[in-house]
């Protein structure tokens, strides 16, 4: 039966927001910042040649921001009349907090005090109707609009090219944060896009359900952002990607409202939901999502398994995902990442973390977890892997800490960034080698030889993703340094037949390589869709579509 929460209920369940605003020049909660131990600082100096600390970020209030183009304008008055003046702000602090995402280039620019492309205002609508009318108003006034959720983009998805517009706003969806409906019989939940993942879990867990979406950005990612960028969580082997859980959406566009999803699957023409899943705000704003949900698992167990080599571990993961039993979490670090990232703290820098570490997790009923774990244990023992249960628990406890470590390494003077791709199993090793070689060659030629780490983060019967982490000493121009290396890696991905992204999205950073990947005819089709839904081109201009 459907929970008595009508879609237009006056007081639908909403969470209490507990997470603080993110550090403007780094990731997450400032109170959770990481301090690097002397052993790591020594490794940076001896292994990568890191000698000088990175830029110290200026105080937020000291960063100069261009004068808002909306100040003292009739357009601002219209927006305030529509949304309420208390939900429209042009303060420098608010504009900086809605400037860019959390990629290393984004942070380096902010640490240099560069806020030149800050939005002219931050606007917080509270209903679908307000979003719809706001987009129509902005289309009339030629005001660029960037939908803003948790601000976690790492591909330039929050950096629109808006100079040719009269102004630019960040449309913050945080007030759209309700659980609208729950259908127990169908096991679906209708939620608003401004809910952060922990908030959505809080609302659903209280009713016995989970979405099962736990990416590394979990603490700050919003549901709308997860849909718009085709997010994939760390438990994707068991729960699937986020876009696979979306069965219906409601979207506000500058031309009107679109509602899609009358059934889980349909033969009624192409699945138009897919136009908006992954569209990154280029066509409109997702204002409501219906998601498939699952019962909260009674048991959760995470094991670590040691393999002699990355090839041996990858073969074991392929066998499990293709032939079963399928764990809920299934990921594998290569030799370098095992030694430096996922080893026990006592092993860091000691050279004792050998081979490759896989994390194998199970969630579900106690009986189901026990059965799958027993069978997987037999299979992995048979191929010579060694159980390391403590490593699995350690990964579970620190699974959201990676971005904090990135910030500390930037502080120390290292250049640290990530990129990811996906391909078929038969092409996995060639792609792994090509991307790693491109990164090492590019950065070495710039005088900053790197360490390149990689893990298989998501697996499918036909293929898997590769997630690379790169660390080197910062050059005099770290932005240009990384741009050169990223271009070399992206060229290798496209040339080797991989996808330019698996779950980070396109944004602006991947836009040109995306065009190479799909070809001019496909890009023309996307441009035609944008012209129909957004004729003035105000929606996140420059993002996704060249």
For residue 167, with 0-12 CB atoms within 10 Å meaning exposed, 13-18 middle and 19 or more buried, which class applies? buried
Closest of 286, 292, 229 to residue 260, by C-alpha: 286
Name the token pair of 453.
């780490």
| Alpha-carbon distances, residue 341 vs 199, 225, 348, 503 (angstroms) | 29, 28, 8, 21
Cβ atoms 451, 471 nearer than 8 A: yes
Name the token pair of 283.
């066509």
Cβ atoms 115, 95 nearer than 8 A: yes
Residues 9 and 17: their CA atoms lie apart, in Å, by: 21
Cβ atoms 222, 196 nearer than 8 A: yes
Rg (C-alpha) for the chain, rounded Å, is 23
Residue 377's SS3 state is helix
First-to-last alpha carbon distance for the chain, in angstroms, is: 46
Residues 257 and 285: their CA atoms lie apart, in Å, by: 10
- Dihedral sign computed on CA atoms, order 323, 329, 335, 336: positive
Q: Which residues pair with 147 in a beta bridge?
A: 171
Residue 534's SS3 state is coil
Name the token pair of 343.
């080893």
Closest of 160, 240, 257, 311 to residue 459, by C-alpha: 240
Closest of 410, 348, 452 to residue 42, by C-alpha: 348
Residue 467 annotated among the catalytic residues of the structure: yes
Closest of 357, 533, 334 to residue 452, by C-alpha: 334
Name the token pair of 125.
């609508």
Helix%, strand%, coil% for the chain, nearest 5:
40, 20, 40
Catalytic choice (239, 404, 467, 514): 467
Name the token pair of 10.
């006056």
Closest of 171, 174, 175 to residue 158, by C-alpha: 171
Residues 465 and 470: their CA atoms lie apart, in Å, by: 16
| Strand (E) or helix (H) holding 456 | strand 451-456
Cβ atoms 526, 460 nearer than 8 A: no
Q: Which residues pair with 452 in a beta bridge?
A: 470
Active site residues: 467
């Amino acid at each position: 039966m459907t929970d008595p929460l009508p879609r237009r209920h006056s007081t639908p369940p909403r969470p209490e927001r507990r997470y603080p605003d993110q550090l403007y020049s780094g990731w997450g909660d400032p109170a959770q910042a990481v301090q690097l131990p002397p052993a790591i600082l020594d490794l940076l100096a001896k292994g990568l040649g890191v000698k000088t600390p990175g830029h110290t970020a200026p105080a937020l209030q000291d960063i100069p921001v261009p004068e808002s183009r909306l100040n003292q304008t009739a357009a601002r008055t219209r927006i305030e009349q529509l949304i309420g003046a208390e939900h429209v702000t042009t303060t420098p602090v608010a504009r900086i907090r809605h400037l860019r995402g959390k990629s290393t280039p984004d942070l380096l620019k902010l640490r240099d005090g560069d806020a030149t492309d800050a939005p002219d205002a931050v606007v917080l609508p509270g209903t679908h109707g307000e979003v719809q009318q706001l987009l129509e108003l902005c289309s009339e006034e030629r005001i660029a609009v960037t939908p803003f959720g948790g601000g976690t983009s790492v591909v330039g998805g929050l950096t629109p090219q808006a100079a040719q517009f009269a102004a630019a706003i960040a449309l913050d969806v945080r007030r759209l944060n309700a659980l609208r409906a729950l259908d127990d019989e169908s096991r679906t939940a209708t939620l608003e896009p401004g809910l952060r993942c922990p908030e959505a879990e809080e609302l659903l867990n209280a009713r016995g359900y989970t979405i099962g979406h736990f990416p590394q950005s979990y603490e700050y990612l919003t549901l709308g952002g997860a849909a718009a960028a085709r997010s994939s969580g760390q438990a994707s082997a068991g729960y699937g990607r986020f876009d696979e859980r979306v069965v219906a959406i409601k979207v506000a566009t500058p031309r009107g409202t679109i509602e899609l999803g009358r059934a889980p699957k349909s033969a009624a023409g192409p699945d138009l939901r897919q136009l908006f899943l992954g569209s990154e705000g280029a066509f409109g704003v997702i204002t409501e999502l219906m998601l498939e949900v699952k019962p909260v698992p009674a048991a959760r167990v995470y094991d670590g398994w040691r393999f002699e080599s990355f090839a041996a571990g990858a073969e074991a993961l392929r066998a499990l995902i293709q032939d079963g039993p399928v764990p809920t979490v299934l990921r594998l670090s290569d030799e370098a990442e095992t030694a430096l990232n996922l080893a026990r703290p006592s092993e860091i820098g000691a050279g004792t973390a050998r081979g490759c570490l896989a994390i194998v997790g199970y969630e579900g009923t106690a009986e189901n977890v026990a059965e799958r774990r027993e069978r997987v244990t037999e299979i992995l023992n048979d191929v010579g892997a060694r159980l390391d249960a403590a490593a699995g628990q350690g990964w579970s406890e620190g699974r959201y800490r990676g971005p904090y470590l990135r910030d500390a390494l930037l502080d120390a003077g290292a250049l640290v960034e990530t990129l990811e791709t996906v391909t078929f199993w038969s092409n996995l090793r060639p792609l792994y080698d090509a991307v790693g070689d491109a990164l090492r060659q590019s950065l070495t030629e710039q005088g900053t030889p790197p360490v390149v780490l990689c893990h298989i983060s998501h697996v499918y019967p036909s293929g898997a993703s590769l997630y690379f982490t790169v660390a080197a000493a910062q050059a005099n121009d770290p932005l240009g340094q990384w741009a050169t290396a990223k271009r070399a890696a992206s060229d290798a991905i496209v040339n080797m037949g991989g996808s330019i992204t698996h779950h980070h999205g396109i944004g602006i950073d991947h836009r040109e390589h995306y065009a190479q990947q799909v070809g001019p005819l496909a890009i023309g089709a996307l441009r035609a869709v944008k012209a129909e839904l957004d004729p003035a081109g105000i929606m996140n201009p420059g993002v996704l579509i060249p």
